[in-house]
Chain A
Amino acid sequence: MEDVLRRHRVEVTGRPDGQPLMFAHGFGCDQHMWRHVAPAFEDDFRVVLFDHAGAGRSDRSAYDPVRHSTLQGYADDVLAILDALDARDVVLVGHSVSSMIAALAARAEPDRFAKLVMVGPSPRYIDDEGYVGGFSEADIGELLDSLDSNYLGWSSAMAPAIVGNPDRPELGEELTESFCRTDPDLARRFAEVTFTSDNRADLPSVTTPTLVLQCREDVIAPVAVGRYVARALPDASLVLLDATGHCPQLSAPEETVAAIAPFVRGDPPVRR
């Protein structure tokens, strides 16, 4: 059981008896994405941070090519972590692709979750008939090329320092050193799974009350996509942030906290 916590670098802070509030990072970086947002909730909540398999300083053994060939595999990881922590009545905040991972987790175990927050969600990145995701298939191919070009700077000599030793306490500097640095092979596979996924059909069966946070300008998840998600979910509301970009938790942490706080602190809305 504890193995799953070690493999995913699970960090639990805040009030031990508080309601569990889990933050899930998206494609690209790791749990440090939440470093300006998570502390704001530590007074009231039991705050849970983790790294997805293949990301940040997660254990290489956490990654399984078959399990992680679909977003459901990542959702199963989330459920396994919550199960190991015996966390109930969970508020799950997912950024980017983790919004859909959160949706899949909540659909699989609806009773475990009290609320979901989706930051910059997109149920499908590639345009489809009657649906604008913002990207073509060729664009995604270019992303993979872009990853290849940039991971040329990732050498195997760096790997041990980045992956780190789970038994060794790290200095603050080293904690952030792994940020956005991932095994190129795993990053490429996560990119493919993320940007070729289509979770539109899953949304109507996610009954957990959900808050969608949408940035004013986001080249990855445009406003129209955020509205689509809020409409497709049975019980969701949308807050349009003044922030731009895809990572408001980094570019506008105060605004992000201010948008999340009333929703997660308030009483859950009555289910329809």
Chain B
Amino acid sequence: MSTDAAADAFYAALLDDDAERLYERAPCGYVSTTPDGMLVKVNATFLDMVGREREDVVGCLSFTDLLTAGGRIYHETHYAPMLRMHDRVREVAFDLVRPDGERLPVLVNAVLERDSDGRPRVVRVAVFDATHRREYERELLRAKRRAEQSEHRAQALAQTLQSTLIPPSPPALPGLDVSAGYRPAGDGEEVGGDFYDVFQIGAGDWVVVLGDVCGKGVEAAVVTSLVRHTVRALTVQEPRPSEVLRSLNDVLLAQGSDRFCTVVLVRLRRERGAWSATFCAGGHPLPLFVSAGEVLPVGAPGTAVGLLRDVELSDQRLSLAPGELLVVYTDGVTEGRRGSDFYGEQRLWQSVLAHRDAPVPAEEILGEVLAFQAGNARDDIAVVAVRVPDPSDFAQDPRREEHGHEQQPSG
């Protein structure tokens, strides 16, 4: 392009676009109203937008007359108050209604001009066609709603799944107090990796299993479910906890998942009115035995299951006398943190001692661990406490009747 041609174009554009044409044909609608909203001046672009003639608009209609009913409410409850408060409003979305009922989505910016006494004098409004933008925003809004719904569904699913992995409350064992406390990490939106189960094999023959599957979420839940059902199936045939865990190890390895778990299995038996516990830990914190005001970790640590072909697992047997307590827990208890301070074994032992005679010791212990972390558990926490009631309590509580209605094995 020659220099002359460029200069010609420059002057042609400059001369053609005087203030009047700029106003009338600007690529946005211009509207001036009284402070009450009566239209006093509009440009040609705005008349095109609303599909009306100048004489049908100026001096006859208010800006709100051109809006949908919903838009009018928004105008009166938000736009007008904001304009009075700040003397300007930006990017408010309205739909203009044309005489044929068709809607034109617009975005509106407005300024309120005041006289020298500060009294509102005129409102200037710029109106932009936002048809495509609005459609895009609706898409965004729909996507946001879908995402929120998916999130709600995922939470509901996680909670349903969780409830299948953790008994709502431990069953009532005749002649034995079993209490449990469980709290998934964070706000409970994800399925935790900790689990426990308490179930009956036969008359005076019960199993408590508690463990921690590595990881959390759905994949961990699949392994947790497998572990629970496998343990239930194996314990029917196999009385020795170490052998049950050995078979569980084989099952997990065969299943091919790279998830493993630490677990402690306790077999509780009553023979001639006296309880005993045979237990085995697989890479898990040792059970705590509480007797005569002392806390003692019992058993051997053993190997976690689902990792190695060869595992070291051994059983230990204890007699449980009245007033004695066996507590199993996951590392979410001792690794509960406040700043750089861990809850630790010392605090746990103190807590166990302090609550050994409480009606539900496991809940008390859980409560203290949570309180230590100000209620914000970073890891799942599970605690199960088994206590042989003191016979001196029997007289007060008929439910503890030793020759009561013992549940019969179901199969």
Q: Could you list which residues of chain A lie within 8 angstroms of chain B, going by C-beta atoms?
A: 26-29, 32-33, 96, 135-136, 139-150, 152-153, 176, 179-180, 195, 218-220, 244-247, 250-251
Q: Which residues of B contact A144 (CB under 8 A)?
A: 70
Whether the pair B68, A142 counts as a contact (CB closer than 8 A) is yes
Stretch at the interface among B73-81, B244-252, B267-275: B73-81
- Interface SS, B side: helix
Check B146 for interface membership: any CB of A closer than 8 A: no
- Known contacts A152-B141, A180-B82, A244-B36; is A29 also within 8 Å of B70 by CB? no
Pick from B69, B82, B91: contact of A143, CB below 8 A.
Answer: B69
- Residue of B71, B81, B134, B137 near A250 (CB, 8 A) is B81
Residues in chain B near residue A244, CB distance under 8 A? 36-37
Give Cα A242–Cα B70 distance, bound, in whole angstroms: 25
Rounded to whole angstroms, the CA-CA distance of A219 and B255 in the bound complex is 69
Q: What's the minimum C-beta distance from B72 to chain A, rounded to whole angstroms?
A: 5
Query: Contact between B93 and A245 (Cβ–Cβ < 8 Å)?
Result: no
Task: Please report the C-alpha to C-alpha distance between residue A139 and residue B74 in the assembled complex, in whole angstroms.
Answer: 11
B121 within 8 A of A: no
User: Are the C-beta atoms of A140 and B70 separated by less than 8 Å?
Assistant: yes
Residues in chain A near residue B72, CB distance under 8 A: 219-220
B128 at the interface (CB under 8 A from A): no
Kindly provide the distance from the CB of B56 to the nearest chain A CB, expressed in whole angstroms. 19
Asked if A145 and B70 sit within 8 Å, CB to CB, the answer is yes
- Nearest residue, chain A, Cβ from B74: A146
Which residues of the other chain, B, contact A150 by a CB distance below 8 angstroms?
A: 74, 78, 92-93
Known contacts A141-B70, A149-B137, A180-B85; 15 further A-B pairs (Cβ under 8 A): A27-B77, A29-B82, A143-B73, A145-B70, A146-B70, A146-B71, A146-B73, A149-B105, A149-B134, A176-B86, A179-B86, A220-B76, A245-B36, A246-B76, A247-B76
Contacts known (A32-B85, A250-B84); A148 close to B76, Cβ less than 8 A: no
Find the residue from A28, A135, A136, A147 having the highest chain B CB count within 10 A.
Answer: A28
| Given A147-B74, A251-B36, also A139-B82 (CB < 8 A) | no
Q: Contacts A179-B81, A250-B81, A251-B80 known; A146 to B68 CB distance under 8 Å? A: yes
Give the chain B neighbours of A136 by CB distance below 8 A. Answer: 69
Question: Chain A's nearest CB lies how many Å from the CB of B159?
Answer: 19
Which residues in A have their C-beta under 8 angstroms from that of B322?
none
Q: How far is the CA of A139 from the CA of B105 in the complex (A)?
A: 16
Q: Interface on B for A, CB 8 Å cutoff?
A: 35-37, 64, 68-78, 80-82, 84-86, 91-95, 105, 134, 137, 140-141
Choose from B73, B81, B92, B105 the contact partner of A195 (Cβ within 8 Å): B73
Instruction: State in angstroms the CA–CA spacing of A232 and B113 once bound together.
Output: 41
Roughly how many angstroms separate A251 CA and B76 CA in the complex, as a whole number? 11
Taking a contact as CB atoms under 8 Å apart, the answer to whether B76 and A179 are in contact is: no
CB contact under 8 A between A247 and B94, given known A142-B69, A143-B69, A146-B74: no
Question: Are the CB atoms of A142 and B70 closer together than 8 Å?
Answer: yes
Q: What are 9 of the A-B contact pairs (CB < 8 Å)?
A: A135-B69, A146-B68, A146-B71, A147-B74, A245-B76, A247-B84, A250-B81, A250-B84, A251-B80
Q: Which residues of B contact A146 (CB under 8 A)?
A: 68, 70-71, 73-74, 93-95
Q: Given the interface contacts A176-B86, A245-B76, does A28 sit within 8 Å of B91 by beta carbon?
A: no
Chain A residue nearest to B35 in the complex (CB):
A251
Shortest Cβ distance from B83 into A: residue: A250
The 9 closest A-B pairs by CB, nearest first: A142-B70, A28-B77, A139-B69, A143-B70, A149-B93, A246-B76, A146-B70, A250-B84, A146-B74
Q: Give the complex CA separation of A136 and B81 in angstroms.
A: 24
Would A33 and B81 be within 8 Å (CB), given that A152-B140, A153-B91 are in contact?
yes
Tell me the complex Cα distance, A110–B141, Å. 45
With A143-B70, A195-B73 as contacts: A219 and B64 at CB distance below 8 Å: yes
* Bound CA–CA A27/B75 (angstroms): 12
Please indicate the chain A residues that have their CB under 8 angstroms from the CB of B85 in the complex. 32, 176, 179-180, 250
Distance A6 CA – B70 CA, assembled complex (angstroms): 33
Please measure, in the bound complex, the distance between the C-alpha atom of A167 and the C-alpha atom of B66, giving whole angstroms: 44
List the A side residues contacting B84 at CB < 8 Å. Answer: 247, 250-251
Known pairs A142-B71, A244-B36; A29 contacts B78 (CB<8 A): yes
A137 smallest CB distance to B (angstroms): 11
Residues of B within 8 A of A245 (CB): 36-37, 76, 80
Contacts of B82 in A (CB 8 A): 29, 179-180
